[in-house]
Chain A
């Protein structure tokens, strides 16, 4: 089954009901077909992160609807959102949001706990993911001891543990140097070849110009100012 995402008239306000209310996303209409790599670009405060959280069901729009295969997921009650967050979307946060005090392996396994997968099978899957991302030897390390690149890859492994069809990554290269950024982009390109949709936010030219990118959507003040589809995509 294909997974297409549609955003219609999306607006998101913060500090609602207060004098300092502002619209982080202010009227966005988008259609994101499956299997594409979409980059949301734009300066800080342009609404990239907010839009990602709305797509990933981490927040609800003030106005408008987010549709997944024509089903309005933005208005679903809370119990219906958890399975989507768990298995349809994988989210990599800009600041990683790893659980401090837990080892890398446990952090990666956490999203699968509610599924009731036996520990041994889950551990095997998590270790395989960590090996794939070059973090095998760091599986037992506490996340506080990780470098930026390691933390980023741990967050990626966590996002992938339940094998989601759509991966959302907020500024995936923001905390990485150029070399680590390239490595990460290679990993993301691999995920694209597996048929996953990738929705990234970045103001890093390295990401925007990466060969795997299908589409770059430029945001400013919460509005789409340009939507550029790349003709030739290399993986």
Chain B
């Protein structure tokens, strides 16, 4: 028989033995699998969800202007005048600058804030509105219905709904209401020639920083917010929210660590005796370790697989009902949308090393300790 065949047969025997050994301790292993799989599920859910949200946010920001300029008066945000807009024209590297109009409107009916905006490309007729999907759902409003708001002067302004935005845009447009520029200015009392802020388009990404510096030179009472900064802010927010979820989870992680330590610090009398028997009948220390590695590996891989698949289904199939309220942000109008699966290999690798590796070490250490002891002593 060739050496290779012998090695294979030996591994096969060890795998068979490991499987039989797991089956013999069915209750304990199922319990361990549940706790372990549950831990992987929670960790993977947080990782997947925060990653997918960041991905979505970055996708949305990809279409955002490179720089947004806001005017500050006494440290507070103030409307931008037409002079500000004109002052920026002619900056080298700047392709386009446009004034944007947007603001918030509180709706006492559903106790939520809506974001009202004038689309830069126009397209909304006077007296009509286009609604975000969550807003439409909250108000129970659809195409042809009328929605009314009290303006800055107390006069009621009504809009006929021309369109409800599709669900796919929910993350960005959940609470959005698009109206005509004249309607907007009338509702909020913003004079013609004034804007909420300015959107700057810069084709060359390497010139963004220089343009931002020039903007501040020309408009010292303004601040320039770079798209990159917004991306970083989004990332930081979702990371922070992940941490917020992981913090209470750390209790469960600690419990898992204690469980692993329990396994590390001592085997049951039965397990020790079995190792002693195996050694006494001629198993080498490495055979015992290999057998336990198969056993621990099988259990941890199963837990990893179950946990990861369940987390994938929870996040991308069910839109993470367990995490959404905390990680998506606090809002009366939650966007109803499905996340695009966005998982990085490094995340899976990190999850694997955080869960499988410690468990295997914790399992093998006591086994190794028992296996290097004289069989007679272990069996006593």
Contacts and interface: CB of A to CB of B under 8 A. Distances in A.
Interface string B7-26: 11110111011001001100
Given A99-B274, A101-B24, A86 B282 contact: yes
Main secondary structure of the interface of B (DSSP, over half): helix
Q: Which of B279, B281, B283, B372 has the most CB of A within 10 A?
A: B281
Given A58-B374, A58-B375, A99-B277, A85 B10 contact: no
B281 A53 contact: no
B10 to A, nearest CB: 4
Interface string B356-376: 000000000000000010111
Interface string A130-170: 00000000000000000000000000001100100000000
Contacts of B279: 82, 85
B281 to A, nearest CB: 4
Nearest to B6: A116
How extensive is the interface on chain B, given as a class?
A: 35 or more
B282 A83 contact: yes
A172 to B, nearest CB: 16
Nearest to A118: B9
Contacts of A116: 1, 5-10, 13
Nearest to A90: B281
Given A101-B24, A116-B7, A82 B284 contact: yes
A179 interface: no
Contacts of B281: 85-86, 91, 110-111, 158-159
B282 A59 contact: no
Contacts of B98: none
B9 A119 contact: yes
Nearest to B290: A114
A113 interface: yes
Contact of B280 (A58, A83, A162): A58
Contacts of B285: 78-79, 82
Interface in A52-89: 53, 56, 58-60, 78-79, 82-83, 85-87
Contacts of A111: 281-283
Contacts of A119: 9, 12-13, 16
Contacts of A82: 279, 282-285, 287
A187 interface: no
Given A58-B375, A97-B379, A99-B277, A85 B282 contact: yes
Nearest to A86: B282
A116 B290 CA distance: 14
A91 B13 CA distance: 21
A117 B376 contact: no
A218 interface: no
Nearest to B13: A113
Q: Which of A58, A110, A115 has the most CB of B within 10 A?
A: A58
Contacts of A159: 281
Contacts of B283: 82, 86, 110-111, 113-114
A59 B1 contact: no
B10 A113 contact: yes
B377 interface: yes
Interface string A92-136: 010001111110001001110111111100000000000000000
A158 to B, nearest CB: 7
A96 to B, nearest CB: 10
A26 to B, nearest CB: 17
Contacts of A99: 274, 277
B201 to A, nearest CB: 70
Interface string B263-301: 000000010011011111111110100000000000000
5 contacts: A101-B24, A106-B20, A110-B17, A114-B287, A116-B7
Interface of B: 1, 5-10, 12-14, 16-17, 20, 23-24, 270, 273-274, 276-285, 287, 372, 374-377, 379
Given A53-B376, A116-B1, 13 more contacts: A83-B282, A85-B282, A86-B282, A101-B23, A101-B24, A102-B20, A106-B20, A110-B278, A110-B281, A111-B281, A113-B13, A114-B13, A118-B5
